[in-house]
C-alpha cells in the first residue's frame, strides 16, 4: 500500500486516505475538437512501465487534488506537486532524472 | 511411545496442571504446553488423517510450519477447524478434535483411498470427472464437495462471540522474529535511538537459543535470552510483542501483524485478535529457518518428526517423542537431537547419516556418547501401521535394498535448513541460491524497495542464511545498527559482538531423495507435501506431463498449497522438479510467496467492521422519529430512508397507496434531508455553473429556482436537481440523495484541476439542513398556520424561494415540486429539523397531514413523468434520450458534455428514448427491467430487444398501472403496442404513451 | 422558538476511555485566501484568535480556529453565536472573494478522554498517534474506520473528534466498541 505526501496539507499518509484520479496533464478537448482528438481525450491513456504522472485527491484529508510522479514498476515516488499546472515542474523532472538518468520527459 | 519425561521442559510449569479433551478423552497437560506437546505427553502420536489418502498422521514439527497436526478447536460458536496443534497454547477446558476421518481417527473408511493411490495421481482432478457432463452436477460435484477440506465448517447458526480490532502503528524499525538475531537487532537499533517494535509469533522468546547447544557471552542460551529481554524492556524506545506474527510485508514498508490476545485465555476481556497495521522505516526479517524433511518411503508415518522438533519437545516441554529414536540426517545439526535424547536418558539406536564421511565435534560427541553412527546410510522405508515400529536401513547411494531393520518408535529426520524468506519476498525481495547449504537466502543487494527507491527490508540471522548461532547473532546486531543508521541514527558500540560458543558444524550434503536411486515403489510413498499428500512420484509425473514452470507444477500437483503453503515441502519439491527437468534448482526458482505467513482469522481482517458497524449508514435528523413511527427502511446510497410508514395492521403496499392518495387529496410530509445542498459562491460562480450544468444558470434571477442537469464529458446524464440563486454571486445547488458527495467532489475537481483561474468557492452544506417537503393541496395552509412568512402564490410563486422564519425556526422555503402537487421544500438547521417536523405534523393534524416515504415519492413522480437518476439513467443516457433537450442550452459555447453531444452516436434518431407505457390490461404491472421485443429472432437465436422498462408502478391516483421505458426510436412510436415477454409463455402488452400521465398542464402545482 | 439539539443527544460511555457527545458547537466554514491581511484581521476581530499555520489549531475555552486546507478554516464559536459571527465576518470581509457559511448543525463532535484516547483513535485512523508525532495544537483530517473525520486535542489526554452529523451515531458506536474494557493495546 502506497504512502504519498499531499503537497497541499503536507501530510504523508497511506493510500487509503487518497483517491486515485488517473493520468495527469490531460488537455481537455471541448467544442470544436475533432473526433479523434476528443476520443483520445476521453479514452486514450498512457500505461507506461516506469515513470508516470498521476492525479490523486486527498479524499479523507484536505480534499485537494495533487499530482504524483511515480514509477509504476518499482512504486518509487519521485515527488508530488500541485494540480494547478499543465506541465511537469522542473524540480520534479530533475528528481526523476536523478534516479532514472535515461528517462526523458514526453509531453 | 511418546511420554512426559520426569524432568526438563523450559516452557512448562509442572506445578500447574490443567485438563484438555481430545476426541472427548480428558487429558492432563501443564501450563505452557502447546496442544501438540500435551498430546505427545499423553502418548497420543496419531493426530489426524491426511487430506487425500486419509493416511494416519502425527505431528512433524514444533512450530508454525506444521502440516499434519491440524485440529478442530472448540465447539459451537467458537469452533475453529484446521488449527495447528504446535502453535495452539493449551488452557483449562480446551476441546480438540482430530479431522478428516470417519467413523473414528483409528478406524477410517476413507483410508481406502490410500489403496487406490495408484488411481489418484497428480492432476487426478483435471483428468477425471470430465464425462459424462451431466454427472458433474449430480455425482462428481457433491462427492468432491463432501471430501473437500479437512476440518468441519462451523454450524451455519454459529456466531463468533469474540471481538477483533485493527491498530495503526508507525515505527522506525520493525523487527520480525524474537530469536537470537531479532533480539540482537532490536537492541542495536534501539541503542542507536530508533523507535523499535519487535514482534514474535510464539508466546516465548529466544528461538533456537533456548534449545540448541551454545553459550553466549558465557551464559546459557536461556539465561542470555532472559537477560536480553529485560534489557530491551528497559529501553523506552523499544516495544516487544509476543504472540504477534508478521503476516505480510507490502509496498512502502507497510506490514500486517496478527496479535493473538485471548486464544490461550478464552473469556478474557478485550479483542481475541488484533491486526497491527504497521508502517516502518526499515523492516528486519529475523524470521529464522525451517528444517527440511527427508524424502524417503513412509516419511509421513506418525513418529517421524523433524530432528529440531524432537529436541524442542524434549527441551521446551519435557516430552519424549519415543523411547528409541533413530536419527536420519544429511548434516551435523541433527546430531544435537541425538545428544539431547541421550542426555534426557532416552535411547538412540542409530544415527543414519547420508554423507559418506562426516566429521566434526558433533559427530565425535555422538560417538563418545556411545551412539552408533552409520555413514552413507539412508532410510529405505518405515515399518508400522499407525506408528513407527522400525526403519529399514539401506545405502544412500543405492536403490533401497534393505540391509538391516532397526526397531524404534520414533524417527528424527533432518534434510538441512531453509531460511524463512517469506516476509523478505512478499514485496519483491529477491533470493539467491546458496549451494553450500542447498537453500535459497535473501539477496542483500536486491531487497524490496520503498517510496524513496531504497531497500526497506534487511534480513538477519538464520533468515538471512546465517545458520550458525554465532553468525546469526552477529548478523542481527549488524542489521539492527544498519537499519537505524539508514534512518539517520548513530549506532552505538558498532564493534561489539557477543561471543558465542557452539559446536562447529561441517558441510551438509544435499539429499533430495532417499535413497538416491529409490525405485517407483519407494518414490510413491515418499511424501513431499504432507498436507496435500503430494509425493515425489507426483512431481516427477507432473514434469513428464509438461508442467515445467514451478507455478504450474504447484497447481497441478497441489504441492505447497493450503494452510501451510509448503513451508516444509517447497524446496524439496522444486529440487525434485529440477532434477526431473534436468536443470539446476536456481533455474527452476521458487513459487511466489504471498501473505499471510500463517493463516489469520477472517474476524481480524474485518476488525471492528461487523454487525451494526459493518458499514456506516447515514441517518437524517428525523430518522429516530421515522423509526418509531412504522418506517420500512430501504437503503438510498449511504442513507437509509423510509420506503413507507406503516400503520398498525397495514401492509407496506397499503401504506404506500394511503400515503399517495392522502398527499394528493390532503397534505403529505416528506423527509428530504438526504438531498445534496452545495453552496457555490464567488464572482465566477455563475460562469462556473454554466460549465457544470447543461442548461443556463447565469440567467437565473436571485430568489428563483431552476431545475438543472449535469452530464459527464461523455455527454451522459449523471445528476440533476434544483438550483436556487441566493444572490448575485451565490448559488445553492441541490443534488440527488446519492449525489451530494459525488457532485461536490466533481465541482471541486473541475475547479482545482481544470478551471483554477475561476474565482469560486464551494461548500457542501448537505448536512447543515434538514429539508422537509410539505406537499399537497393543503400544504400552504399548514405553513400559514406555522406562521412567520408570507407563502402566498403572489409572494412565493412556483420556482421561487424565500428566507425567513416558520414557526419560530429559521427557514428557507422553496416552491418546487417533485410530485406535481402544490409543494414547499423547507430547509431548517439540522438541529431543529425534528422540531420543525413535529410542528408541521401538529399544525396539519386536522388537515389530514401524514408522512410519506420514498415509494410514494417514486410513484407520484412517475405519475408526472419526472425522471429519477439511477432509474431512467444508467450512465449511457443523454438528456435528449429523456426528452430533456429543453434543459440543454444551445446558446452556451461550452459545458461539460457539450462536445460529446455532437458525436454521431448521440444524435442517432434510433437511440433509446423515454416513453410512457400503459399496459392493455390496466391492473397488470410490468416487472422492472422487462425487455420489449419486436420482429423476428436474431441470427444468434435471441429475441430482438428494443428497450426496457425503467420505472413501473400501480398508480392509485389513476387506478391503473403506469410505466416508463427506454425504447429504440421511442419518440416515433406513440400509440404502438409493444410486447414484453416476462415469463415462460407470458407476454405483457403495453401501449406507448406520453410519459406524463397526470396533469399534463401542471395546474395542480401552480396554485 | 425550539432549541437546537445535537446529533447525539448527550450520549456518553465509560469504557477503557470516556466517549461522550461534546454537545452543540458553533462552527463556521471560511474559505478564502488565508494569507490575505484583511481576512486575517477580520478573523482576529471576530474570534480574538490568530489564524493558525498548516494543520494547526488555536483553541481557547469557547472559541477556536482549525486549519482545514490551504484555503479553508473552521471557526469554532458558541453555538448560539454562530449566525451573528457569520454576519460579522461577512460584514468585515465586504466584497472580498470568500465563502463564509454556518455549518454548526452539519457535524457531530465527540469527546474522547482518558489515558488510552490515542490508542482508541489509532484503531481506526491510519495516523501516527504517538505523542512524539501528534499533540495539542495540531489537527488531523483523516478517516476513522470507514468514515471521514477530523480530530484535535484539547488537553494531554483529550481529543475532540468531528464527523458529519449523519454518521455521528455510527462514529460514536464505533468509538464505544474501540473503547471496550481491556482492549487498549498499551503501545503508546
Share of chain B above pLDDT 70, in %: 100
Q: Check whether B141 has a pLDDT greater than 80.
A: no
* Interchain proximity A8–C140, CB inside 8 Å: no
Residues of chain C contacting B166 with CB distance shorter than 8 Å: 123-124
Q: What is the mean pLDDT of each run of 10 residues along chain A (107 residues)?
A: 97 97 97 97 96 98 98 97 97 98 89
* Interchain proximity B166–C32, CB inside 8 Å: no
Do residues B109 and B526 touch, judged by C-beta distance below 8 A?
no
Q: Check whether B120 has a pLDDT greater than 80.
A: no
pLDDT digits (tens, 9 = 90+) for B773-801: 999 999 999 999 999 999 999 999 999 99
Choose among B974, B968, B924: nearest CA to B945: B968
Residue A34 lies in a domain: no
Residue A62 lies in a domain: yes
Angle at B465 between CA B459 and CA B469, to 5 degrees: 100
| Distance between CA atoms of residues A98 and A79, nearest Å | 12
Q: Is B675 within 8 Å of chain C by CB? A: no
pLDDT digits (tens, 9 = 90+) for B519-541: 999 999 999 999 889 999 999 99
Hey, how many other C-beta atoms are within 10 angstroms of the C-beta on C79? Answer: 20
Q: Check whether B463 has a pLDDT greater than 60.
A: yes
| Distance between CA atoms of residues B197 and B277, nearest Å | 12
**Grid coordinates standing for B126?**
483435471
What pLDDT does B667 receive? Answer: 98
Exposure string of B827-863, with b = 16+ CB inside 10 Å and e = fewer, is bbbbbbbbbbbebbbebbeebebbbbbbbbbbbbbbb
What pLDDT does B138 receive? Answer: 80
| Distance between CA atoms of residues B291 and B767, nearest Å | 61
Q: Is B897 within 8 Å of chain A by CB? A: no
Question: Which stretch of DSSP H or E encloses residue B313?
Answer: helix B307-317
Residue A17 lies in a domain: yes
Which one of A9, A17, A21, A30 makes the best mutation probe of the B interface by having the most chain B beta carbons within 10 Å?
A: A30
**Grid coordinates standing for B265?**
485465555
Whole-Å CA distances, C81 to C26, C67, C121: 7, 20, 30
Residue A13 lies in a domain: yes
Q: Which residue carries 555413514 as its cell?
A: B375
Q: Which domain holds residue A79?
A: 3-25+47-99
Q: Where do the DSSP E strands lie in chain C? A: 12-14, 18-21, 26-31, 57-59, 64-69, 72-77, 99-102, 107-113, 139-144, 147-155, 158-164
Residues of chain A contacting B758 with CB distance shorter than 8 Å: none
pLDDT digits (tens, 9 = 90+) for B841-872: 999 999 999 999 999 999 999 999 999 999 99
DSSP category for residue B525: T
Does the domain formed by B908-1007 have CATH 2.40.30.110? yes
CATH of domain B3-127: 3.10.20.440
Residues of chain B contacting C3 with CB distance shorter than 8 Å: 832, 835
Q: Among positive and negative, which fits the CA dihedral B753, B755, B757, B761?
A: negative
* Interchain proximity A21–B251, CB inside 8 Å: no
Mean pLDDT for all residues in chain B = 95
- Residue A81: phi and psi, rounded to 5, are -155, 170
Do residues B314 and B320 touch, judged by C-beta distance below 8 A?
yes
Q: Establish whether the linkage from the previous residue to B596 is cis, with ω within 30° of 0.
A: yes
pLDDT confidence tier of residue B743, bands split at 50, 70 and 90: very high
Residue A18 lies in a domain: yes
Residues of chain A contacting C127 with CB distance shorter than 8 Å: 13
What pLDDT does C9 receive? Answer: 95
- Residue A53: phi and psi, rounded to 5, are -115, 130
pLDDT confidence tier of residue B495, bands split at 50, 70 and 90: low
Do residues A84 and B752 touch, judged by C-beta distance below 8 A?
yes
Q: Which residue carries 476421518 as its cell?
A: B101
- How many separate domains does chain A show? 1
CATH superfamily of B164-289+419-501: FAD/NAD(P)-binding domain (3.50.50.60)
Q: Is B762 within 8 Å of chain C by CB? A: yes
- Chain C residue closest to A62 (CA)? C69
- Chain A residue closest to C68 (CA)? A62
| Distance between CA atoms of residues B261 and B253, nearest Å | 25
pLDDT digits (tens, 9 = 90+) for B307-328: 999 999 999 999 999 999 999 9
pLDDT confidence tier of residue B595, bands split at 50, 70 and 90: very high
Hey, how many other C-beta atoms are within 10 angstroms of the C-beta on B109? Answer: 11
| Distance between CA atoms of residues B972 and B137, nearest Å | 49
What pLDDT does B102 receive? Answer: 81
DSSP category for residue B516: T
What three-state secondary structure class fits B977? strand
> What ipTM, to 2 d.p.?
0.98
Do residues B10 and B34 touch, judged by C-beta distance below 8 A?
no
**Residue from the list B607, B617, B765 with its beta carbon closest to the beta carbon of C103:** B765
* Interchain proximity A8–C141, CB inside 8 Å: no
pLDDT confidence tier of residue C1, bands split at 50, 70 and 90: low
The contacts of residue B182 (CB under 8 Å, 6+ apart) are: B175, B176, B198, B200, B207, B284, B286, B460, B461, B476
Choose among B626, B747, B751, B738: nearest CA to B679: B747
Burial environment of residue C23 by CB neighbours within 10 A (0 to 12, 13 to 18, 19 or more): middle
pLDDT digits (tens, 9 = 90+) for B74-97: 999 999 999 999 999 999 999 999
| Domains of chain C: residue spans and CATH | 12-23+106-178 (3.30.1360.120), 26-102 (3.30.70.1520)
Residues of chain C contacting A61 with CB distance shorter than 8 Å: 141-142
Name residues 88-107 of chain A within 8 A of C (Cβ): none
Residue A35 lies in a domain: no
* Interchain proximity B451–A83, CB inside 8 Å: no
pLDDT digits (tens, 9 = 90+) for B362-412: 999 999 999 999 999 999 999 999 999 999 999 999 999 999 999 999 999
B100 or C174, which is more confident: C174
Question: Which stretch of DSSP H or E encloses residue B652?
Answer: helix B652-665
**Grid coordinates standing for B311?**
529436541
pLDDT digits (tens, 9 = 90+) for B922-937: 999 999 999 999 999 9
Angle at B632 between CA B630 and CA B635, to 5 degrees: 140
Domain range annotation of chain B: 3-127, 164-289+419-501, 908-1007
What pLDDT does B845 receive? Answer: 97
Q: Check whether B893 has a pLDDT greater than 90.
A: yes
Burial environment of residue B78 by CB neighbours within 10 A (0 to 12, 13 to 18, 19 or more): middle
* Interchain proximity C69–A8, CB inside 8 Å: yes
Question: Which stretch of DSSP H or E encloses residue B771?
Answer: strand B769-775
Name residues 611-630 of chain B within 8 A of C (Cβ): 612-613, 615-621
- Residue B183: phi and psi, rounded to 5, are -60, -45
Choose among B339, B308, B298, B305: nearest CA to B322: B305
The contacts of residue B225 (CB under 8 Å, 6+ apart) are: B180, B183, B205, B206, B209, B210
- Chain C residue closest to B169 (CA)? C128
Write the CATH number for A70. 3.30.2270.10
Question: Which stretch of DSSP H or E encloses residue B412?
Answer: strand B410-414
What pLDDT does A107 receive? Answer: 61
Residue A40 lies in a domain: no
Amino acid at each position: 500500500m502506497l504512502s504519498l505526501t499531499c503537497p497541499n496539507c503536507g501530510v504523508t499518509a497511506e493510500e487509503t486516505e487518497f483517491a486515485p484520479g488517473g493520468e495527469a496533464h490531460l488537455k481537455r478537448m471541448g467544442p470544436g475538437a475533432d473526433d479523434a482528438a476528443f476520443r483520445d481525450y476521453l479514452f486514450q491513456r498512457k500505461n507506461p512501465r516506469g515513470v508516470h504522472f498521476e492525479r490523486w485527491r486527498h479524499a479523507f484529508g484536505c480534499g485537494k487534488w495533487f499530482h504524483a510522479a511515480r514509477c509504476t514498476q518499482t512504486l518509487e515516488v519521485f515527488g508530488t506537486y500541485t494540480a494547478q499546472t499543465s506541465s511537469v515542474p522542473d524540480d520534479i523532472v530533475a528528481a526523476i532524472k536523478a534516479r532514472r538518468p535515461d528517462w526523458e520527459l514526453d509531453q | 511411545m511418546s511420554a512426559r519425561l520426569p524432568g526438563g521442559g523450559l516452557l512448562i510449569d509442572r506445578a500447574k496442571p490443567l485438563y484438555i479433551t481430545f476426541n472427548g478423552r480428558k487429558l492432563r497437560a501443564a501450563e505452557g504446553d502447546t496442544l501438540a506437546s500435551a498430546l505427545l505427553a499423553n502418548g497420543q502420536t496419531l493426530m489426524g488423517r491426511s487430506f487425500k489418502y486419509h493416511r494416519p498422521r502425527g505431528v512433524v514439527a514444533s512450530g508454525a510450519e506444521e502440516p499434519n497436526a491440524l485440529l478442530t478447536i472448540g465447539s459451537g460458536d467458537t469452533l475453529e477447524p484446521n488449527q495447528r496443534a504446535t502453535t495452539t497454547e493449551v488452557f483449562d477446558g480446551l476441546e480438540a478434535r482430530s479431522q478428516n476421518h470417519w467413523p473414528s481417527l483409528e478406524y477410517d473408511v476413507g483410508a481406502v483411498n490410500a489403496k487406490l493411490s495408484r488411481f489418484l495421481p497428480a492432476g487426478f482432478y483435471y483428468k477425471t470427472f470430465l464425462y459424462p457432463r451431466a454427472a458433474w452436477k449430480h455425482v462428481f460435484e457433491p462427492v468432491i464437495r463432501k471430501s473437500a477440506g479437512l476440518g468441519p465448517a462451523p454450524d451455519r447458526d454459529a456466531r463468533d462471540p469474540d471481538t477483533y480490532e485493527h491498530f495503526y502503528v508507525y515505527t522506525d524499525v520493525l523487527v520480525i522474529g524474537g530469536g537470537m538475531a531479532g533480539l540482537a537487532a532490536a537492541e542495536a537499533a534501539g541503542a542507536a535511538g530508533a523507535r523499535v517494535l519487535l514482534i514474535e509469533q510464539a508466546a516465548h522468546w529466544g528461538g533456537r537459543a533456548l534449545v540448541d547447544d551454545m553459550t553466549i557471552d558465557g551464559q546459557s542460551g536461556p539465561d542470555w535470552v532472559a537477560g536480553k529481554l529485560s534489557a530491551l524492556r528497559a529501553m523506552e524506545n523499544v516495544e516487544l510483542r509476543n504472540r504477534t506474527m508478521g503476516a505480510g510485508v507490502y509496498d512502502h514498508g507497510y506490514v500486517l501483524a496478527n496479535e493473538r490476545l485471548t486464544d490461550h485465555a478464552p473469556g478474557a476481556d478485550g479483542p481475541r485478535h488484533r491486526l497491527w497495521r504497521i508502517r516502518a522505516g526499515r523492516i528486519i526479517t529475523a524470521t529464522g529457518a525451517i528444517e527440511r524433511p527427508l524424502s524417503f518411503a513412509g516419511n509421513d508415518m506418525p513418529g517421524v518428526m523433524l530432528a529440531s522438533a524432537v529436541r524442542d519437545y524434549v527441551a521446551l516441554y519435557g516430552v519424549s517423542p519415543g523411547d528409541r529414536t533413530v536419527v536420519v540426517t544429511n548434516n551435523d545439526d541433527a546430531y544435537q537431537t541425538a545428544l539431547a535424547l541421550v542426555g534426557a536418558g532416552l535411547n538412540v539406536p542409530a544415527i543414519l547419516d547420508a554423507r559418506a564421511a562426516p566429521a566434526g565435534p558433533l559427530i565425535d560427541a555422538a560417538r563418545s556418547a556411545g551412539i552408533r553412527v552409520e555413514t552413507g546410510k539412508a532410510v529405505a522405508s518405515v515399518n508400522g501401521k499407525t506408528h513407527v515400529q522400525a526403519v529399514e536401513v539401506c545405502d544412500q547411494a543405492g536403490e533401497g535394498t534393505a540391509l538391516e531393520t532397526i526397531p524404534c518408535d520414533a524417527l528424527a529426520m533432518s534434510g538441512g535448513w531453509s531460511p524463512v524468506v517469506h516476509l523478505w519476498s512478499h514485496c519483491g525481495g529477491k533470493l539467491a541460491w546458496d549451494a553450500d547449504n542447498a537453500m535459497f537466502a535473501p539477496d542483500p543487494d536486491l531487497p524490496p524497495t520503498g517510496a524513496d527507491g531504497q531497500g526497506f527490508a534487511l534480513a538477519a540471522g538464520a533468515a538471512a542464511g546465517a545458520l550458525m548461532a554465532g553468525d546469526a547473532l552477529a548478523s542481527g546486531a549488524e542489521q539492527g545498527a544498519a537499519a537505524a543508521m539508514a534512518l539517520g541514527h548513530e549506532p552505538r558500540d558498532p564493534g561489539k559482538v557477543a561471543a558465542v560458543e557452539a559446536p562447529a558444524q561441517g558441510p551438509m550434503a544435499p539429499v533430495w531423495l532417499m535413497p538416491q536411486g529409490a525405485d517407483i515403489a519407494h518414490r510413491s510413498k515418499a511424501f513431499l507435501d504432507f498436507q496435500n499428500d503430494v509425493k515425489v512420484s507426483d512431481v516427477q509425473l507432473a514434469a513428464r506431463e509438461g508442467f515445467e514452470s514451478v507455478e504450474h507444477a504447484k497447481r497441478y500437483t497441489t504441492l505447497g498449497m493450503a494452510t501451510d503453503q509448503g513451508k516444509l515441502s517447497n524446496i524439496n519439491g522444486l529440487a525434485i522438479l529440477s532434477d526431473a527437468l534436468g536443470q539446476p534448482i536456481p533455474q527452476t526458482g521458487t513459487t511466489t510467496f504471498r501473505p499471510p505467513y500463517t493463516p489469520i482469522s477472517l474476524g481480524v481482517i474485518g476488525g471492528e467492521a461487523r454487525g451494526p458497524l459493518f458499514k456506516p449508514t447515514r441517518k437524517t435528523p428525523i430518522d429516530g422519529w421515522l423509526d418509531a413511527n412504522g418506517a420500512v427502511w430501504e437503503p438510498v446510497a449511504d442513507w437509509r430512508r423510509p420506503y413507507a410508514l406503516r400503520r398498525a395492521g397495514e401492509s407496506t403496499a397499503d401504506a404506500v397507496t394511503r400515503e399517495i392518495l392522502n398527499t394528493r387529496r390532503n397534505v403529505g410530509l416528506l423527509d428530504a434531508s438526504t438531498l445534496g445542498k452545495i453552496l457555490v459562491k464567488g464572482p465566477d460562480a455563475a460562469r462556473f455553473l454554466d460549465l457544470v450544468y447543461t442548461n443556463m444558470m447565469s440567467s437565473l434571477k436571485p430568489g428563483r429556482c431552476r431545475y438543472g442537469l449535469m452530464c459527464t464529458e461523455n455527454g451522459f446524464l449523471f445528476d440533476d436537481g434544483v438550483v436556487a440563486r441566493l444572490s448575485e454571486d451565490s448559488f445553492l445547488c441541490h443534488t440527488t440523495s446519492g449525489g451530494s458527495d459525488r457532485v461536490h467532489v466533481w465541482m471541486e475537481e473541475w475547479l482545482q484541476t481544470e478551471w483554477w483561474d475561476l474565482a469560486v468557492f464551494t461548500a457542501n452544506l448537505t448536512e447543515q439542513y434538514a429539508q422537509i417537503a410539505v406537499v399537497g393541496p393543503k400544504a400552504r395552509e399548514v405553513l400559514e398556520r406555522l406562521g412567520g412568512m408570507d407563502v402566498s402564490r403572489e409572494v412565493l410563486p412556483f420556482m421561487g424561494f424565500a428566507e425567513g422564519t416558520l414557526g419560530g425556526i429559521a427557514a428557507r422555503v422553496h416552491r418546487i415540486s417533485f410530485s406535481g402537487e402544490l409543494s414547499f421544500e423547507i430547509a431548517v438547521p439540522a438541529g431543529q429539523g425534528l422540531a420543525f417536523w413535529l410542528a408541521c405534523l401538529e399544525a396539519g393534524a386536522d388537515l389530514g397531514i401524514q408522512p410519506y416515504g420514498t415509494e410514494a415519492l417514486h410513484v407520484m413522480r412517475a405519475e408526472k413523468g419526472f425522471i429519477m437518476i439511477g432509474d431512467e439513467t444508467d450512465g449511457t443516457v443523454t438528456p435528449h434520450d429523456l426528452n430533456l433537450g429543453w434543459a440543454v442550452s444551445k446558446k452556451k459555447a461550452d459545458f461539460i458534455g457539450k462536445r460529446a453531444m455532437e458525436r454521431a452516436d448521440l444524435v442517432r434518431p434510433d437511440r433509446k428514448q423515454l416513453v410512457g407505457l400503459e399496459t392493455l390490461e390496466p391492473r397488470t404491472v410490468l416487472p422492472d427491467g422487462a425487455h420489449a421485443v419486436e420482429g423476428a429472432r436474431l441470427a444468434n437465436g435471441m429475441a430482438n430487444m428494443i428497450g426496457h422498462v425503467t420505472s413501473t408502478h400501480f398508480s392509485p391516483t389513476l387506478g391503473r398501472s403506469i410505466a416508463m421505458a427506454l425504447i429504440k426510436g421511442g419518440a416515433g412510436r406513440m400509440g404502438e403496442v409493444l410486447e414484453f415477454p416476462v415469463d415462460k409463455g407470458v407476454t405483457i402488452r403495453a401501449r406507448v404513451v406520453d410519459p406524463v400521465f397526470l396533469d399534463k398542464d401542471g395546474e395542480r402545482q401552480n396554485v | 422558538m425550539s432549541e437546537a439539539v445535537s446529533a447525539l443527544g448527550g450520549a456518553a460511555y465509560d469504557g477503557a476511555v470516556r466517549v461522550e457527545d461534546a454537545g452543540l458547537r458553533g462552527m463556521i466554514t471560511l474559505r478564502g485566501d488565508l494569507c490575505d491581511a484583511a481576512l486575517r484581521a477580520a478573523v482576529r476581530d471576530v474570534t480574538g484568535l490568530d489564524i493558525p499555520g498548516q494543520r494547526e489549531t488555536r483553541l481557547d475555552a469557547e472559541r477556536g480556529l482549525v486549519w482545514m486546507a490551504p484555503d479553508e478554516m473552521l471557526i469554532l464559536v458558541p453555538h448560539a453565536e454562530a449566525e451573528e459571527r457569520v454576519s460579522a465576518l461577512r460584514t468585515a470581509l465586504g466584497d472580498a472573494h470568500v465563502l463564509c457559511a454556518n455549518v454548526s448543525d452539519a457535524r457531530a463532535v465527540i469527546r474522547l478522554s482518558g489515558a488510552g484516547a490515542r490508542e482508541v483513535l489509532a484503531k481506526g485512523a491510519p495516523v501516527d498517534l504517538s505523542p512524539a508525532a501528534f499533540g495539542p495544537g495540531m489537527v488531523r483530517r483523516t478517516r476513522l474506520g470507514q468514515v471521514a473525520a477530523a480530530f484535535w486535542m484539547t488537553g494531554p489526554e483529550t481529543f475532540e473528534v468531528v464527523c458529519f452529523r449523519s454518521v455521528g451515531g455510527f462514529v460514536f458506536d464505533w468509538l464505544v466498541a474501540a473503547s471496550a474494557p481491556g482492549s487498549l493495546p498499551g503501545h503508546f
